[in-house]
RNA sequence: GCGCCUAUAGCUCAGCGGACAGAGCAUCGGUCUUCGGAACCGAGGGUCGUGGGUUCGAAUCCCUCUAGGCGCGCCA
């Protein structure tokens, strides 16, 4: 990593400055290397002198000049200059940059796999929607966030598992069973009223029809409760199947489908609760059992076992996280929840802490609401009302690539409007096409070279010296930093901005530098560069879960 | 009422305590046209919601207020 190199150089320079008395012997502040937004300030910069000036009361520019004089020569680093008010700017060497083309080609798609020291086993749990109805648009946001983060973590050297938690127990499932049974009665022509808390969507009617298709008498001779549960189980299976299929459309898959029910059957529920009990975190009150989260700074306690003896959702979720951390021993657990679960975040963190787990290992991303608009009209998305826009409808209308890019390009913690009309109408102007077009252009150039029988294996990359060429290389070298940034901040939206930047510098290079020309040596060198760009752009698109089209 | 999130160009949004606040779309003007014009170049457009504070330095950190969203159940 370049930043690492520069930090080392600065650390050594500072030590040398202290040894020679130019700098007082104080403990150095954390050295931060940033990328200046103005390219005139070089490739990297540090404001270390400004920070040192504060503690040493010396002139920052003087410190900067002194440090620069102590910076050891390095094959990667060219110019190092001190500038007012107290920055040190680094510029990378052009010949080193050019050589990176070979490095990228040699390493292929894995070139940016950074091995972070902290890398370990990480679990990302996302979507985890109750299997009581189809996925809607908001779920798509979580699905895309989660699957992209998983890609990024894998690229950063972590061992990642993607998991879907199936809520196959509890009240909502019960309501689902009762709703389905009612629809079944109606299907048979009986008069039956949907339950108060039922699922009213038409999909429930379709579901019954589907289950009964060609098998009308399968429940005929069974007693009522058995019909309800038999029907319910079949319905669940079908809906889970639909959820899987819908996610597949978006390019989202899971390694583990984890059953809530299994926490009760496998004993984790009991173990988790007795662990809390032993820690003194449970108390009896009003006939129920409470988790005393106020002891951990929460504003209120929460019920874990109702007065009728049944566990709350919170209780099973505690058991679930007990299983994640203490049974399966993940180093990091990331949950992606919708904004409607906000109230659950802090008490869950408290519960994790109560089980003796380092809260740093537990991260929750809450993705804010997505409101749908059709033209000017707002569409409220609710699963229980009949009026829903499903994720499937959205993907079929807009396309998976555009969908992914659109959702990814906003930070998770800001709410977003998704205007279906606009998404369709502007599809030609959608940045996704801009980025993919760059990729198609690249493959087209390489195709031409192949058709002309140009073998560029022996191309000499030291011929790559012009500004558009070096700018492209600089941008390509940024990807590992983006991957690291996202792994640390859990903010995958940076990828979309990077993809557009990369496409832009490629288009600019293309415009200014003829690749296949009469200058054979230069052609070969540039073909190598184009091939490297293809690798990096393809990598970027795949991290986002998008396709890299050869033609469009 | 309490907690969390959001407020930056006409629109949609980036912006890690640092150097004149950026991009896409839209608007206006230009380029070239043998490798894909779904391209490239340029211009205009901003009291970074308001008011304070910390700092050498704030869109970024702290507090006030305003507006919008979400949450505050023995629902999940």
- Domains of chain A from N-terminus onward: 2-92 (3.30.1360.70), 171-231 (no CATH), 430-543 (1.10.730.10)
ipTM exceeds 0.90, yes or no: yes
Q: How far is the CA of A414 from the C1' of B7 (A)?
A: 10
Is A140 within 8 Å of A545 (Cβ atoms)?
no
The nt closest to A290 (CA vs C1′) is: B74
Is A96 within 8 Å of A76 (Cβ atoms)?
yes
Tokens describing residue A158:
């972590």
The per-residue pLDDT string of chain A (552 residues; one tens digit each, 9 = 90 and over) reads 788 899 999 999 999 999 999 999 888 888 989 998 888 899 999 999 999 988 888 899 999 999 999 999 999 999 999 998 899 999 999 999 999 999 999 875 554 555 555 578 999 999 999 998 889 888 999 999 999 999 999 999 899 999 999 999 888 888 999 999 999 999 999 999 998 888 888 899 999 999 998 777 788 888 988 999 899 999 999 999 999 999 999 999 999 999 999 999 999 999 999 999 999 999 999 999 999 998 888 888 999 999 999 999 999 999 999 999 999 999 999 999 998 898 899 999 999 999 999 988 999 999 998 887 776 666 655 444 445 678 998 898 888 999 999 899 999 988 888 877 777 766 667 888 899 999 999 999 999 999 999 999 999 999 999 999 999 999 999 999 999 999 999 999 999 999 999 999 999 999 999 999 999 999 999 999 999 999 999 999 999 999 999 998
A411 touches strand B (CB under 7 A): yes
A213 touches strand B (CB under 7 A): no
A288 touches strand B (CB under 7 A): yes
Q: Which helix (H) or strand (E) holds A117?
A: none
A223 touches strand B (CB under 7 A): no
Alpha carbons within 13 A on the beta-carbon side of A140:
34
Burial environment of residue A393 by CB neighbours within 10 A (0 to 12, 13 to 18, 19 or more)? middle
Is A391 within 8 Å of A137 (Cβ atoms)?
yes
The pLDDT of residue A428 is 67
A281 touches strand B (CB under 7 A): no
Q: How far is the CA of A506 from the C1' of B36 (A)?
A: 14
The nt closest to A550 (CA vs C1′) is: B36
The nt closest to A128 (CA vs C1′) is: B76
Q: How far is the CA of A300 from the C1' of B52 (A)?
A: 33
A468 touches strand B (CB under 7 A): no
Residue nearest to nucleotide B76 (CA to C1'): A313
The nt closest to A512 (CA vs C1′) is: B40
Residue A516's DSSP bridge partners are none
Residue nearest to nucleotide B11 (CA to C1'): A422
Q: Which helix (H) or strand (E) holds A393?
A: helix A391-398
Alpha carbons within 13 A on the beta-carbon side of A24:
10
A342 touches strand B (CB under 7 A): yes
The pLDDT of residue A552 is 86
Residue nearest to nucleotide B74 (CA to C1'): A306
Residue A259's DSSP bridge partners are A166
In 10 A of CB A411, how many CB atoms?
Answer: 14
Chain A 132..171 CB hits on strand B (< 7 A): 167, 170-171
Say how far residue A152 (Cα) sits from the centre of its chain: 7
Chain A 351..370 CB hits on strand B (< 7 A): 366, 368-369
Cα separation, A550 vs A80, whole angstroms = 41
Is A370 in a helix, a strand, or coil?
strand
A240 touches strand B (CB under 7 A): no
What distance, in Å, lies between the first and last C-alpha atoms of chain A? 35
Cα separation, A18 vs A383, whole angstroms = 66
Q: Which helix (H) or strand (E) holds A418?
A: strand A416-419
Tokens describing residue A309:
């003896």
A96 touches strand B (CB under 7 A): no
Q: How far is the CA of A246 from the C1' of B51 (A)?
A: 49
A76 touches strand B (CB under 7 A): no
Residue nearest to nucleotide B34 (CA to C1'): A517
Q: For chain B, which bases have at least one atom within 7 A of a protein Cβ?
A: 2-7, 12-16, 18-26, 34-41, 55-57, 68-76
Residue nearest to nucleotide B22 (CA to C1'): A37
Q: How far is the CA of A61 from the C1' of B56 (A)?
A: 12
Q: Please state the three-class secondary structure of A126-194 as a single string.
A: CCCCCCCCCCEHHHHHHHHHHHHHHHHHHHCCCEEEEEEEECCCCHHHHHHHHHHHHHHHHHCCCCCCC
A406 touches strand B (CB under 7 A): no
A312 touches strand B (CB under 7 A): yes
Residue of A486, A472, A481, A482 lying closest to A532 (CA atoms): A472
């Amino acid at each position: 990593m370049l930043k690492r190199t520069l930090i080392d150089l600065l650390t050594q320079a500072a030590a040398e400055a202290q040894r020679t008395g130019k700098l007082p012997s104080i403990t150095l502040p954390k050295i931060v290397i940033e990328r200046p937004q103005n390219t005139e300030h070089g490739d990297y910069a540090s404001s270390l002198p400004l920070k040192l000036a504060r503690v040493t009361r010396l002139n920052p520019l003087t410190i900067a000049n002194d440090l620069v004089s102590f910076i050891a020569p390095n094959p990667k680093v060219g110019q190092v200059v001190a500038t007012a008010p107290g920055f040190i700017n680094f510029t990378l060497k052009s010949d080193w940059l050019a050589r990176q083309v070979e490095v990228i080609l040699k390493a292929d798609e894995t070139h940016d796999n950074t091995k972070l020291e902290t890398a370990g086993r990480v679990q990302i749990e996302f979507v985890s929607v109750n299997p009581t109805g189809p996925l809607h648009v908001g779920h798509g946001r979580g699905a895309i966030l989660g699957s992209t983060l998983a890609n990024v973590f894998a690229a950063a050297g972590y061992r990642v598992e993607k998991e879907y938690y199936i809520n196959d127990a509890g009240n909502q499932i019960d309501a689902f069973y009762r709703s389905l049974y009612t629809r079944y009665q109606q299907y048979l022509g009986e008069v039956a009223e949907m339950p108060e808390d039922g699922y009213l969507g038409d999909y429930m009617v379709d579901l019954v029809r589907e289950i009964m298709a060609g098998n009308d008498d399968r429940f005929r001779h069974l007693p009522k409760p058995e019909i309800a549960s038999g029907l319910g189980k079949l319905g669940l299976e079908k809906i889970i199947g639909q959820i899987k299929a819908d996610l597949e459309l978006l390019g989202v898959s899971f390694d583990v489908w984890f059953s809530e029910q299994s926490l009760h059957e496998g004993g984790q529920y009991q173990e988790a609760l007795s662990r809390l009990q032993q820690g003194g975190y449970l108390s009896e009150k009003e006939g129920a059992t409470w988790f005393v989260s106020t002891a951990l700074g929460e504003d209120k306690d929460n019920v874990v076992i109702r007065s009728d003896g049944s566990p709350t959702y919170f209780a099973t979720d505690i058991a679930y996280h007990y299983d994640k951390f203490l049974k399966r021993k993940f180093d990091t657990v990331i949950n992606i929840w919708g904004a409607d679960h906000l109230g659950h975040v802090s008490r869950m963190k408290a519960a994790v802490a109560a089980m003796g787990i380092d809260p740093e290992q537990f991260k929750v991303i809450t993705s804010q609401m997505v409101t749908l608009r059709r033209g000017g009209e707002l569409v409220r998305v609710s699963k229980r009302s009949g009026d829903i826009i499903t994720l499937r409808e959205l993907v079929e209308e807009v396309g998976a690539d555009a969908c992914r890019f659109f959702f990814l390009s906003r930070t998770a913690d800001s709410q977003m409007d998704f205007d279906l009309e606009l998404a369709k109408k502007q599809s030609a102007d959608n940045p996704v096409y801009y980025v993919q077009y760059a990729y198609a252009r690249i493959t087209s150039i390489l195709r031409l070279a192949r058709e002309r029988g140009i073998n560029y294996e022996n191309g000499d990359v030291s011929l790559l010296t012009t500004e558009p060429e070096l700018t492209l290389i600089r941008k390509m070298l940024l990807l590992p930093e983006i991957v690291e940034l996202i792994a640390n901040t859990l903010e995958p939206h940076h990828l979309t901005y990077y993809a557009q930047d990369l496409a832009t510098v490629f288009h600019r290079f293309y415009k200014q530098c003829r690749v296949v020309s009469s200058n054979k040596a230069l052609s070969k060198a540039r073909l190598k560069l184009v091939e490297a760009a293809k690798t990096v752009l393809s990598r970027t698109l795949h991290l986002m879960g998008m396709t890299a089209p050869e033609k469009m």
